[in-house]
Amino acid sequence: MLTAREIISLEHVGLQYNENRPVFQNVSYNIFTGDFYFLTGQSGAGKTSLLKILYRAVNPSFGRVKVFGYDVSSINRADLPIFRQHIGLTFQDCRLIEDLSIVENVALSMHISGSQYKKSCVYARELLDWVGLGDYLDSYPDILSDGQKQRVSIARAVIKRPALLLADEPTGNLDDDNALRLIALFEELHRMGTTIILATHNSQLIETFSYPRLILKNGTLFVGNVNKKRNAV
């Protein structure tokens, strides 16, 4: 059951690819509007898979997942863009559109969400400047380093001020200064009301910021550093 403040509800959720051993099983947890979580766990623990379930790129094999009140398993393919309209995504592999300039890559995300293209380009330029890519606005993704691509991908995810941000290793290719700058950007977004789940291996980030942790380990989800009375695992 999803109440007004719950943005995500996981009920006995499991994921099994093909005939393989389940990646995780029996995960039950609720995430509330305005929460900020680190999602951690060893490589292969299922962080990316769990995020994929939340934006319905993968269907859970067991249990029920609700996001914004939608049961994700019952969303039609045709309705996916509407469902994802209020979700910002950053991927481990960035996935920029190679035929579009940097500024167009970022502006498109805002434009698709309903803003005028010209206005979207103005915001995109400001945001790219802020993430240190002001000299690359009209360049194409193929000349960027991996860390620069990652910063474009983050600008693209945050520009539309999504209700929910699912960030998969957003600082994986970044130096410490840029990583901290991007977390500051996420915190600003969080202050404006965005719910954030940030998958990361970066132990320095996790220790520096005292956000609660969702930990995938041994095929189940543990919760650390959170008021246990608020939410049962």
Ligand X SMILES: Nc1ncnc2c1ncn2[C@@H]1O[C@H](COP(=O)(O)OP(=O)(O)OP(=O)(O)O)[C@@H](O)[C@H]1O
Q: Which does 218 bind (CB under 5 to 8 A by kind): ligand X, Mg ion, none?
A: none
Task: CB nearer to ligand X: give 6 or 60.
Answer: 60
Q: Which does 23 bind (CB under 5 to 8 A by kind): Mg ion, ligand X, none?
A: ligand X
Task: CB nearer to Mg ion: give 47 or 66.
Answer: 47
Do 24 and 219 touch, CB atoms closer than 8 A? yes
Q: Which does 40 bind (CB under 5 to 8 A by kind): ligand X, Mg ion, none?
A: none
CA distance 157 to 110: 9
Chain positions contacting Mg ion, by CB under 5 A: 47-48
Integer CA distances (angstroms), 180 to 199, 204, 228, in order:
15, 10, 28
Could you say which residues in the range 30-69 bind ligand X, by CB under 6 A?
41, 43-49
CA distance 192 to 101: 28
CA distance 225 to 210: 8
CB of 95 to ligand X, least distance (A): 15
CB of 24 to ligand X, least distance (A): 9
Size of the site for ligand X (CB under 6 A): 12
Task: CB nearer to Mg ion: give 93 or 138.
Answer: 93
The H or E element containing residue 183 is: helix 176-191
CA distance 172 to 14: 27
Residue 152, phi then psi, degrees to nearest 5: -65, -45
Could you say which residues in the range 72-131 bind ligand X, by CB under 6 A?
92
Task: CB nearer to Mg ion: give 93 or 175.
Answer: 93
Task: CB nearer to ligand X: give 132 or 219.
Answer: 219
171 binds ligand X (CB under 6 A): no
Do 63 and 13 touch, CB atoms closer than 8 A? yes
Q: Which does 17 bind (CB under 5 to 8 A by kind): Mg ion, ligand X, none?
A: ligand X
Output the furthest CA–CA distance in the chain (Å, rounded). 50
The SS3 call for residue 23 is: coil
Do 174 and 147 touch, CB atoms closer than 8 A? yes
CA distance 102 to 76: 31
CB of 20 to ligand X, least distance (A): 6
Could you say which residues in the range 14-33 bind ligand X, by CB under 6 A?
17-18, 23
Task: CB nearer to ligand X: give 191 or 217.
Answer: 217
Binding residues for ligand X (CB under 6 A)? 17-18, 23, 41, 43-49, 92
